[in-house]
Chain A
């Protein structure tokens, strides 16, 4: 069983839709959770960073962590064509070396 599972998609939505992206994980020791956005042929860029269960909002983006269910989500409101990218979840235990465990990424296409 992979430590982090993520639906690869592709996910296609019309412009303005609410998008829900999800990851599940198996190790309850994970404490820090991140979402990265990766455009084609570019390096991943940090989108959201959360610690512990709960919600965190930044503009059109909301990250949600449910540690009891080992489930994290990223919601995108009023999706735009510029949101079309691969979204990677990542998590780690913390500690000196801070090794991240990544999901395989979900490819999102927002149609104008």
Chain B
């Protein structure tokens, strides 16, 4: 069976500091990978998605970037955090090529920027 991991679970960072959040998937190959942010009282906002190693599509211009150095690893980064970067960050995966196939989410990372 497939498993998705995210770490850290919780992070408190000062404004202007760098960020690196990691997501890994086990039990599948060549998944599509997604990064979402969920702000309090709001829905999930898609930030980035990737259909393969080194292939990143950005949905929203912002202070963040993503990378996919390995098939089942997805990293969300920032060089300098802003207060507005606070939120709940979720990684998700789906089987590539399966039309309409749904996405499965990780446990999330709660980020607080002070």
With A41-B110, A42-B108 already in contact, the answer to whether A98 and B43 are too (CB < 8 A) is no
User: Which listed residue, B42, B43, B102, touches A34 by the CB 8 Å rule?
Assistant: B102
- Using Cβ atoms and an 8 Å threshold, which residues of chain B touch A95? 99
Q: DSSP majority for the A interface? A: loop
A16 CB within 8 Å of chain B: no
In the complex the two chains form, what is the Cα distance from A42 to B57 in whole Å? 25
Contact indicator A88/B99 (Cβ below 8 Å): no
B103 CB within 8 Å of chain A: yes
Please, which residue of chain B has its CB at the minimum distance from the CB of A45? B105
Contact indicator B44/A94 (Cβ below 8 Å): no
Classify chain B's interface size.
20 to 34
- Using Cβ atoms and an 8 Å threshold, which residues of chain B touch A4? 43
Number of interface residues of A (CB under 8 A): 29
Which residues of A approach B to under 8 Å, CB–CB? 4, 6, 8, 31-32, 34, 36, 41-46, 49, 51, 88, 90, 92, 94-100, 102-105
B107 CB within 8 Å of chain A: yes
In the complex the two chains form, what is the Cα distance from A104 to B40 in whole Å? 10
- Mask of B31-50 contacts with A, CB within 8 angstroms, 1/0: 01000000001111010010
User: Which listed residue, B42, B49, B100, B107, touches A43 by the CB 8 Å rule?
Assistant: B107
Please, which residue of chain A has its CB at the minimum distance from the CB of B59? A99
Contact indicator A46/B51 (Cβ below 8 Å): no
- Using Cβ atoms and an 8 Å threshold, which residues of chain B touch A34? 102
Please, which residue of chain B has its CB at the minimum distance from the CB of A105? B43
Contact indicator A99/B90 (Cβ below 8 Å): no
Q: Offer 24 A-B interface pairs, CB within 8 angstroms, sorted by A.
A: A6-B43, A8-B41, A36-B105, A43-B6, A43-B90, A43-B108, A44-B105, A45-B105, A46-B104, A49-B102, A88-B43, A92-B100, A94-B99, A94-B100, A96-B51, A96-B97, A98-B94, A98-B99, A98-B100, A98-B101, A99-B59, A100-B103, A103-B43, A104-B41
B87 CB within 8 Å of chain A: no
- Using Cβ atoms and an 8 Å threshold, which residues of chain B touch A96? 51, 96-97
